[in-house]
Protein backbone atom coordinates (compact mmCIF):
# COMPACT_ATOMS: atom_id res chain seq x y z
CA UNK A 1 0.00 0.00 0.00
CA UNK A 2 2.80 2.36 0.80
CA UNK A 3 4.50 1.48 -2.49
CA UNK A 4 1.37 2.34 -4.51
CA UNK A 5 1.06 5.69 -2.79
CA UNK A 6 4.70 6.46 -3.57
CA UNK A 7 4.20 5.61 -7.24
CA UNK A 8 1.14 7.89 -7.41
CA UNK A 9 3.10 10.84 -6.01
CA UNK A 10 5.82 10.19 -8.53
CA UNK A 11 3.27 10.31 -11.32
CA UNK A 12 1.83 13.56 -9.94
CA UNK A 13 5.32 15.02 -9.88
CA UNK A 14 5.84 14.07 -13.53
CA UNK A 15 2.42 15.49 -14.46
CA UNK A 16 3.24 18.74 -12.65
CA UNK A 17 6.52 19.00 -14.55
CA UNK A 18 4.77 18.44 -17.85
CA UNK A 19 2.15 21.04 -16.93
CA UNK A 20 4.82 23.55 -15.94
CA UNK A 21 6.67 22.91 -19.20
CA UNK A 22 3.49 23.37 -21.22
CA UNK A 23 2.69 26.60 -19.39
CA UNK A 24 6.18 27.91 -20.00
CA UNK A 25 5.90 27.16 -23.74
CA UNK A 26 2.54 28.84 -23.88
CA UNK A 27 3.92 31.89 -22.07
CA UNK A 28 6.91 32.05 -24.42
CA UNK A 29 4.64 31.79 -27.48
CA UNK A 30 2.33 34.50 -26.13
CA UNK A 31 5.30 36.76 -25.41
CA UNK A 32 6.66 36.27 -28.92
CA UNK A 33 3.24 36.97 -30.39
CA UNK A 34 2.87 40.02 -28.18
CA UNK A 35 6.26 41.30 -29.34
CA UNK A 36 5.30 40.75 -32.96
CA UNK A 37 1.96 42.42 -32.37
CA UNK A 38 3.62 45.36 -30.69
CA UNK A 39 6.09 45.66 -33.54
CA UNK A 40 3.27 45.51 -36.06
CA UNK A 41 1.33 48.14 -34.17
CA UNK A 42 4.43 50.31 -33.95
CA UNK A 43 5.07 49.87 -37.68
CA UNK A 44 1.46 50.71 -38.41
CA UNK A 45 1.67 53.78 -36.22
CA UNK A 46 4.89 54.82 -37.95
CA UNK A 47 3.28 54.34 -41.37
CA UNK A 48 0.23 56.27 -40.24
CA UNK A 49 2.47 59.03 -38.94
CA UNK A 50 4.35 59.18 -42.24
CA UNK A 51 1.10 59.21 -44.16
CA UNK A 52 -0.22 62.02 -42.02
CA UNK A 53 3.06 63.92 -42.49
CA UNK A 54 2.81 63.44 -46.23
CA UNK A 55 -0.80 64.62 -46.21
CA UNK A 56 0.24 67.65 -44.16
CA UNK A 57 3.03 68.43 -46.62
CA UNK A 58 0.65 68.10 -49.59
CA UNK A 59 -1.84 70.36 -47.84
CA UNK A 60 0.91 72.85 -47.11
CA UNK A 61 2.01 72.86 -50.75
CA UNK A 62 -1.61 73.25 -51.85
CA UNK A 63 -1.90 76.16 -49.47
CA UNK A 64 1.20 77.70 -50.97
CA UNK A 65 -0.16 77.22 -54.47
CA UNK A 66 -3.42 78.86 -53.48
CA UNK A 67 -1.45 81.68 -51.92
CA UNK A 68 0.41 82.11 -55.21
CA UNK A 69 -2.76 82.83 -57.13
CA UNK A 70 -2.99 86.22 -58.80
CA UNK A 71 0.10 88.34 -59.22
CA UNK A 72 2.58 85.96 -57.59
CA UNK A 73 1.53 83.00 -59.74
CA UNK A 74 1.56 85.25 -62.80
CA UNK A 75 5.10 86.32 -61.96
CA UNK A 76 6.19 82.67 -61.86
CA UNK A 77 4.60 82.11 -65.25
CA UNK A 78 6.06 85.33 -66.65
CA UNK A 79 9.60 84.30 -65.66
CA UNK A 80 9.67 81.80 -68.50
CA UNK A 81 8.30 84.26 -71.05
CA UNK A 82 10.42 86.37 -73.37
CA UNK A 83 9.65 90.10 -72.96
CA UNK A 84 7.44 91.58 -75.67
CA UNK A 85 9.23 94.92 -75.34
CA UNK A 86 11.01 97.13 -72.86
CA UNK A 87 9.09 100.28 -71.93
CA UNK A 88 11.14 103.42 -71.37
CA UNK A 89 9.86 106.73 -70.01
CA UNK A 90 12.07 109.58 -71.20
CA UNK A 91 12.45 112.17 -68.42
CA UNK A 92 14.40 115.32 -67.68
CA UNK A 93 13.27 117.85 -65.10
CA UNK A 94 9.53 117.40 -64.47
CA UNK A 95 9.19 115.22 -61.37
CA UNK A 96 5.45 115.82 -61.00
CA UNK A 97 4.78 114.87 -64.62
CA UNK A 98 6.99 111.79 -64.29
CA UNK A 99 5.08 110.58 -61.24
CA UNK A 100 1.77 110.86 -63.08
CA UNK A 101 3.17 108.95 -66.05
CA UNK A 102 4.73 106.17 -63.96
CA UNK A 103 1.52 105.65 -62.00
CA UNK A 104 -0.49 105.44 -65.22
CA UNK A 105 1.88 102.85 -66.69
CA UNK A 106 2.12 100.76 -63.51
CA UNK A 107 -1.67 100.57 -63.30
CA UNK A 108 -1.67 98.23 -66.32
CA UNK A 109 1.94 97.00 -66.36
CA UNK A 110 2.18 95.43 -62.87
CA UNK A 111 0.42 92.12 -63.70
CA UNK A 112 2.63 91.62 -66.80
CA UNK A 113 5.81 93.30 -65.59
CA UNK A 114 8.25 90.66 -66.85
CA UNK A 115 6.79 90.90 -70.35
CA UNK A 116 7.15 94.69 -70.36
CA UNK A 117 10.15 95.64 -68.16
CA UNK A 118 9.86 99.31 -67.21
CA UNK A 119 12.71 101.82 -67.34
CA UNK A 120 13.01 105.52 -66.60
CA UNK A 121 15.80 107.24 -68.50
CA UNK A 122 16.68 110.66 -67.09
CA UNK A 123 18.55 113.23 -69.11
CA UNK A 124 20.61 115.31 -66.67
CA UNK A 125 20.83 115.38 -62.91
CA UNK A 126 17.65 117.00 -61.64
CA UNK A 127 17.55 115.65 -58.05
CA UNK A 128 13.76 115.62 -57.78
CA UNK A 129 13.39 113.52 -60.92
CA UNK A 130 16.07 111.09 -59.82
CA UNK A 131 14.57 110.77 -56.35
CA UNK A 132 11.10 110.21 -57.77
CA UNK A 133 12.28 107.51 -60.18
CA UNK A 134 14.28 105.70 -57.49
CA UNK A 135 11.26 105.70 -55.15
CA UNK A 136 9.65 102.99 -57.33
CA UNK A 137 11.02 99.46 -56.94
CA UNK A 138 8.99 98.29 -59.96
CA UNK A 139 11.27 99.97 -62.50
CA UNK A 140 14.92 100.33 -63.51
CA UNK A 141 16.58 103.74 -63.52
CA UNK A 142 19.05 105.00 -66.12
CA UNK A 143 20.80 108.37 -66.08
CA UNK A 144 22.25 110.15 -69.11
CA UNK A 145 24.91 112.67 -68.09
CA UNK A 146 26.06 114.68 -71.11
CA UNK A 147 28.48 117.51 -70.44
CA UNK A 148 29.38 118.19 -74.05
CA UNK A 149 28.49 121.78 -75.06
CA UNK A 150 25.59 122.15 -77.51
CA UNK A 151 26.27 123.97 -80.74
CA UNK A 152 23.09 124.79 -82.64
CA UNK A 153 23.13 124.82 -86.42
CA UNK A 154 20.99 127.95 -86.72
CA UNK A 155 20.84 131.11 -84.60
CA UNK A 156 18.09 131.27 -82.01
CA UNK A 157 17.42 127.53 -81.84
CA UNK A 158 16.55 125.95 -78.51
CA UNK A 159 19.38 123.75 -77.28
CA UNK A 160 16.77 121.47 -75.67
CA UNK A 161 16.00 119.80 -79.01
CA UNK A 162 19.68 118.88 -79.37
CA UNK A 163 19.86 117.47 -75.86
CA UNK A 164 16.68 115.48 -76.42
CA UNK A 165 18.08 113.88 -79.59
CA UNK A 166 21.30 112.91 -77.78
CA UNK A 167 19.30 111.43 -74.91
CA UNK A 168 17.11 109.35 -77.23
CA UNK A 169 20.11 107.86 -79.00
CA UNK A 170 21.87 107.07 -75.72
CA UNK A 171 18.78 105.47 -74.13
CA UNK A 172 17.88 103.35 -77.16
CA UNK A 173 21.49 102.21 -77.53
CA UNK A 174 21.41 101.14 -73.88
CA UNK A 175 18.17 99.19 -74.20
CA UNK A 176 18.92 97.51 -77.54
CA UNK A 177 22.65 96.87 -77.18
CA UNK A 178 23.38 96.70 -73.44
CA UNK A 179 20.13 95.09 -72.27
CA UNK A 180 19.58 93.28 -75.59
CA UNK A 181 15.83 93.86 -76.01
CA UNK A 182 14.32 93.05 -79.40
CA UNK A 183 11.71 95.83 -79.17
CA UNK A 184 11.34 99.05 -77.20
CA UNK A 185 8.23 101.14 -76.50
CA UNK A 186 9.13 104.81 -76.05
CA UNK A 187 7.02 107.07 -73.84
CA UNK A 188 7.64 110.60 -72.65
CA UNK A 189 7.22 111.84 -69.09
CA UNK A 190 3.90 113.59 -69.80
CA UNK A 191 1.74 110.70 -70.97
CA UNK A 192 -1.04 108.50 -69.66
CA UNK A 193 -1.88 105.17 -71.28
CA UNK A 194 -5.12 103.39 -72.16
CA UNK A 195 -6.33 100.13 -70.54
CA UNK A 196 -5.49 98.11 -73.68
CA UNK A 197 -2.14 99.83 -74.32
CA UNK A 198 -0.04 96.69 -73.80
CA UNK A 199 -2.44 94.33 -75.57
CA UNK A 200 -2.43 96.69 -78.56
CA UNK A 201 1.37 96.69 -78.79
CA UNK A 202 1.58 92.93 -78.33
CA UNK A 203 -0.77 92.39 -81.25
CA UNK A 204 1.11 94.97 -83.32
CA UNK A 205 4.46 93.33 -82.53
CA UNK A 206 3.44 90.40 -84.72
CA UNK A 207 2.82 92.78 -87.63
CA UNK A 208 6.12 94.55 -86.99
CA UNK A 209 8.03 91.26 -87.12
CA UNK A 210 6.23 89.91 -90.16
CA UNK A 211 6.02 93.00 -92.40
CA UNK A 212 9.30 94.85 -92.96
CA UNK A 213 7.43 97.67 -94.72
CA UNK A 214 6.23 98.73 -91.24
CA UNK A 215 8.89 100.96 -89.69
CA UNK A 216 7.26 101.43 -86.28
CA UNK A 217 3.95 101.16 -84.44
CA UNK A 218 2.41 104.17 -82.69
CA UNK A 219 -0.33 104.57 -80.11
CA UNK A 220 -1.07 108.10 -81.34
CA UNK A 221 -3.37 109.77 -83.87
CA UNK A 222 -2.66 113.46 -84.53
CA UNK A 223 -6.32 113.94 -85.46
CA UNK A 224 -7.48 111.94 -82.45
CA UNK A 225 -9.57 114.70 -80.88
CA UNK A 226 -12.96 113.66 -79.50
CA UNK A 227 -14.94 115.08 -82.42
CA UNK A 228 -12.82 113.24 -85.02
CA UNK A 229 -12.80 109.67 -83.70
CA UNK A 230 -15.39 106.97 -83.15
CA UNK A 231 -14.17 103.38 -83.53
CA UNK A 232 -11.66 102.05 -80.93
CA UNK A 233 -11.11 98.92 -83.06
CA UNK A 234 -9.94 100.75 -86.20
CA UNK A 235 -6.26 100.84 -87.17
CA UNK A 236 -4.56 102.49 -90.14
CA UNK A 237 -1.26 102.57 -91.98
CA UNK A 238 0.31 106.02 -92.37
CA UNK A 239 3.26 107.55 -94.25
CA UNK A 240 3.61 110.12 -91.47
CA UNK A 241 5.46 109.17 -88.27
CA UNK A 242 3.06 109.86 -85.36
CA UNK A 243 5.41 109.37 -82.37
CA UNK A 244 4.04 110.00 -78.86
CA UNK A 245 4.09 106.42 -77.59
CA UNK A 246 5.67 104.19 -80.22
CA UNK A 247 7.38 100.81 -80.61
CA UNK A 248 10.57 100.19 -82.55
CA UNK A 249 12.34 96.93 -83.42
CA UNK A 250 16.07 96.42 -82.97
CA UNK A 251 16.60 95.72 -86.68
CA UNK A 252 15.34 99.21 -87.49
CA UNK A 253 17.43 100.78 -84.73
CA UNK A 254 20.51 99.09 -86.18
CA UNK A 255 19.87 101.19 -89.26
CA UNK A 256 18.96 104.46 -87.52
CA UNK A 257 21.47 104.63 -84.67
CA UNK A 258 24.62 105.29 -86.74
CA UNK A 259 23.03 108.26 -88.52
CA UNK A 260 20.82 109.62 -85.72
CA UNK A 261 20.32 113.40 -86.09
CA UNK A 262 21.72 116.14 -83.85
CA UNK A 263 18.24 117.57 -83.22
CA UNK A 264 14.54 117.31 -84.19
CA UNK A 265 14.68 113.52 -84.29
CA UNK A 266 10.90 113.11 -84.85
CA UNK A 267 10.82 115.35 -87.93
CA UNK A 268 13.97 113.59 -89.14
CA UNK A 269 12.08 110.28 -89.06
CA UNK A 270 9.41 111.88 -91.26
CA UNK A 271 11.86 112.53 -94.07
CA UNK A 272 11.47 110.21 -97.05
CA UNK A 273 15.21 109.60 -97.13
CA UNK A 274 14.94 108.01 -93.67
CA UNK A 275 11.65 106.11 -93.69
CA UNK A 276 12.33 105.02 -97.30
CA UNK A 277 8.72 104.32 -98.16
CA UNK A 278 8.09 102.33 -95.01
CA UNK A 279 4.96 103.12 -93.05
CA UNK A 280 3.62 103.30 -89.52
CA UNK A 281 0.66 101.65 -87.81
CA UNK A 282 -1.59 104.01 -85.86
CA UNK A 283 -4.98 103.68 -84.13
CA UNK A 284 -8.03 105.80 -84.78
CA UNK A 285 -8.52 106.33 -81.03
CA UNK A 286 -5.32 107.17 -79.17
CA UNK A 287 -3.83 104.73 -76.66
CA UNK A 288 -1.80 107.55 -75.10
CA UNK A 289 -2.80 110.97 -73.81
CA UNK A 290 -0.31 113.84 -73.72
CA UNK A 291 -0.97 116.12 -70.73
CA UNK A 292 2.30 118.08 -71.03
CA UNK A 293 1.25 121.66 -71.47
CA UNK A 294 4.62 122.86 -70.19
CA UNK A 295 7.72 121.52 -71.92
CA UNK A 296 10.26 122.05 -74.68
CA UNK A 297 7.58 122.99 -77.22
CA UNK A 298 6.33 125.71 -74.83
CA UNK A 299 2.75 124.44 -75.04
CA UNK A 300 2.58 124.75 -78.83
CA UNK A 301 -0.79 123.49 -80.15
CA UNK A 302 -1.70 122.14 -76.69
CA UNK A 303 -5.10 123.78 -76.25
CA UNK A 304 -6.22 123.16 -79.82
CA UNK A 305 -4.80 119.76 -80.62
CA UNK A 306 -3.54 117.93 -77.49
CA UNK A 307 -5.93 118.73 -74.68
CA UNK A 308 -9.06 117.55 -76.62
CA UNK A 309 -7.49 114.17 -77.52
CA UNK A 310 -9.71 111.17 -76.78
CA UNK A 311 -7.89 108.50 -74.74
CA UNK A 312 -9.37 105.10 -75.42
CA UNK A 313 -11.39 103.69 -72.51
CA UNK A 314 -12.56 100.46 -74.17
CA UNK A 315 -10.75 97.20 -73.27
CA UNK A 316 -10.32 95.81 -76.77
CA UNK A 317 -9.46 92.10 -76.98
CA UNK A 318 -6.67 92.51 -79.54
CA UNK A 319 -5.59 88.87 -79.27
CA UNK A 320 -8.87 87.72 -80.81
CA UNK A 321 -8.74 90.19 -83.72
CA UNK A 322 -7.46 89.43 -87.21
CA UNK A 323 -5.10 92.27 -88.11
CA UNK A 324 -3.79 90.72 -91.31
CA UNK A 325 -5.60 93.41 -93.34
CA UNK A 326 -2.83 95.78 -92.20
CA UNK A 327 -0.12 93.82 -93.98
CA UNK A 328 1.23 95.65 -97.01
CA UNK A 329 -0.02 93.19 -99.62
CA UNK A 330 -3.60 93.45 -98.33
CA UNK A 331 -3.92 96.98 -96.99
CA UNK A 332 -3.65 98.92 -100.24
CA UNK A 333 -6.64 97.07 -101.69
CA UNK A 334 -8.54 97.22 -98.38
CA UNK A 335 -8.09 100.99 -98.11
CA UNK A 336 -8.81 101.64 -101.79
CA UNK A 337 -12.14 99.82 -101.58
CA UNK A 338 -13.20 101.98 -98.62
CA UNK A 339 -12.23 105.23 -100.38
CA UNK A 340 -14.02 104.23 -103.60
CA UNK A 341 -17.28 103.64 -101.73
CA UNK A 342 -17.27 107.12 -100.13
CA UNK A 343 -19.64 109.71 -101.55
CA UNK A 344 -17.80 112.55 -103.37
CA UNK A 345 -18.52 116.14 -102.25
CA UNK A 346 -17.72 119.21 -104.37
CA UNK A 347 -17.86 122.99 -104.24
CA UNK A 348 -18.32 125.43 -101.38
CA UNK A 349 -19.74 124.65 -97.95
CA UNK A 350 -18.11 121.22 -97.95
CA UNK A 351 -18.36 120.93 -94.17
CA UNK A 352 -22.12 121.41 -94.21
CA UNK A 353 -22.56 119.09 -97.18
CA UNK A 354 -20.47 116.40 -95.56
CA UNK A 355 -22.44 116.68 -92.33
CA UNK A 356 -25.73 116.13 -94.15
CA UNK A 357 -24.62 112.98 -95.98
CA UNK A 358 -25.17 109.54 -94.48
CA UNK A 359 -22.07 107.40 -94.75
CA UNK A 360 -18.48 108.14 -95.69
CA UNK A 361 -17.53 111.23 -97.69
CA UNK A 362 -14.68 111.82 -100.17
CA UNK A 363 -13.30 115.33 -100.79
CA UNK A 364 -10.61 116.02 -103.37
CA UNK A 365 -7.80 118.54 -102.78
CA UNK A 366 -5.49 119.80 -105.52
CA UNK A 367 -2.31 120.67 -103.66
CA UNK A 368 -0.91 121.55 -100.23
CA UNK A 369 -2.52 124.97 -100.15
CA UNK A 370 -5.90 123.53 -101.07
CA UNK A 371 -5.52 120.81 -98.44
CA UNK A 372 -4.67 123.36 -95.75
CA UNK A 373 -7.78 125.38 -96.62
CA UNK A 374 -10.07 122.34 -96.37
CA UNK A 375 -8.37 121.08 -93.18
CA UNK A 376 -8.81 124.51 -91.59
CA UNK A 377 -12.57 124.38 -92.25
CA UNK A 378 -12.90 121.04 -90.46
CA UNK A 379 -10.41 121.91 -87.70
CA UNK A 380 -7.89 119.11 -88.26
CA UNK A 381 -4.09 119.41 -88.52
CA UNK A 382 -2.96 121.36 -91.58
CA UNK A 383 0.76 120.59 -91.24
CA UNK A 384 2.84 118.74 -93.86
CA UNK A 385 6.35 117.28 -93.54
CA UNK A 386 8.39 116.46 -96.63
CA UNK A 387 5.29 116.43 -98.83
CA UNK A 388 3.16 114.30 -96.48
CA UNK A 389 0.15 115.63 -94.48
CA UNK A 390 -0.11 114.48 -90.85
CA UNK A 391 -1.76 111.01 -90.58
CA UNK A 392 -1.85 110.58 -94.39
CA UNK A 393 -1.66 107.28 -96.24
CA UNK A 394 -0.74 107.79 -99.92
CA UNK A 395 -1.86 111.39 -99.60
CA UNK A 396 -5.24 110.50 -98.05
CA UNK A 397 -6.16 111.93 -94.66
CA UNK A 398 -9.09 110.23 -92.92
CA UNK A 399 -11.03 111.32 -89.83
CA UNK A 400 -14.55 111.06 -88.42
CA UNK A 401 -16.77 114.09 -88.36
CA UNK A 402 -19.21 114.42 -85.44
CA UNK A 403 -20.60 110.90 -86.04
CA UNK A 404 -19.36 107.54 -87.33
CA UNK A 405 -19.08 108.98 -90.85
CA UNK A 406 -15.56 109.16 -92.22
CA UNK A 407 -14.17 112.08 -94.22
CA UNK A 408 -11.46 111.24 -96.73
CA UNK A 409 -9.38 114.16 -97.98
CA UNK A 410 -7.89 112.71 -101.15
CA UNK A 411 -5.04 114.10 -103.25
CA UNK A 412 -5.13 113.96 -107.06
CA UNK A 413 -2.37 111.37 -107.34
CA UNK A 414 -4.29 108.81 -105.31
CA UNK A 415 -7.43 109.36 -107.35
CA UNK A 416 -5.41 108.64 -110.49
CA UNK A 417 -4.03 105.52 -108.83
CA UNK A 418 -7.59 104.39 -108.14
CA UNK A 419 -8.63 105.45 -111.65
CA UNK A 420 -11.30 107.73 -110.24
CA UNK A 421 -12.25 110.70 -112.41
CA UNK A 422 -13.46 113.73 -110.42
CA UNK A 423 -13.96 117.31 -111.55
What's the DSSP call for residue 84?
A: S
Q: Sheet harboring 118-123: ordered strands across?
A: 140-144, 118-123, 86-91, 183-188, 246-249, 214-218, 279-283, 235-238
Q: Please provide the size of the chain in residues.
A: 423
DSSP 341-409: HSEEE-SS-HHHHHHTSSS-EEEE--SHHHHHHHHHHHT----EETTEETT-BTTEEEEE-SSS-EEEE
Give every CB contact of residue 205 below 8 A, 6+ residues apart in sequence.
84, 85, 183, 217, 247
**Nearest residue to 390 via CA among 225, 250, 160, 158:** 225
Give every CB contact of residue 41 below 8 A, 6+ residues apart in sequence.
none
d(CA 260, CA 253): 10
Q: Phi first, then psi: what are they for 395, rounded to 5°?
A: 85, 0
Counts of helices then strands in the chain (DSSP H, E):
13, 16
Taken in order 402, 404, 409, 412, the sign of the CA dihedral is negative
Burial class from Cβ neighbours inside 10 Å (0-12, 13-18, 19+) for residue 66 reads: exposed
**Nearest residue to 146 via CA among 126, 121, 166, 168:** 166
DSSP 28-43: HHHHHHHHHHHHHHHH
- 266 as an active site residue: the answer is yes
Considering the candidates 56, 211, 222, 266, report the single residue annotated as catalytic. 266
What's the DSSP call for residue 260?
A: -
d(CA 282, CA 244): 11
**Beta strand pairing call for 388-389 and 384-385:** antiparallel
d(CA 34, CA 41): 10
Residue 395 and residue 404 in contact, taking contact as beta carbons nearer than 8 Å: no
d(CA 415, CA 396): 10
> Mind telling me the catalytic residues?
266
Amino acid sequence: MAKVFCDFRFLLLIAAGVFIYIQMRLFATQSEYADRLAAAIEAENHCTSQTRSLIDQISLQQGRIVALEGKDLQRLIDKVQVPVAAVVIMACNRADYLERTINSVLKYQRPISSRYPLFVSQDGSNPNVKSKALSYDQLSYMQHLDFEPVQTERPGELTAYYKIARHYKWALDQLFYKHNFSRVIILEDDMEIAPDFFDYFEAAATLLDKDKSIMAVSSWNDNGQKQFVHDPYELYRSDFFPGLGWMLARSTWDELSPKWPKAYWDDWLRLKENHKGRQFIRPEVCRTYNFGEHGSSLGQFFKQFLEPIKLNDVKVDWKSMDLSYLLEDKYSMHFANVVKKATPVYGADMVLKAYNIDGDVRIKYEDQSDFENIARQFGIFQEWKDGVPRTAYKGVVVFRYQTSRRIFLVGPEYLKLLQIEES
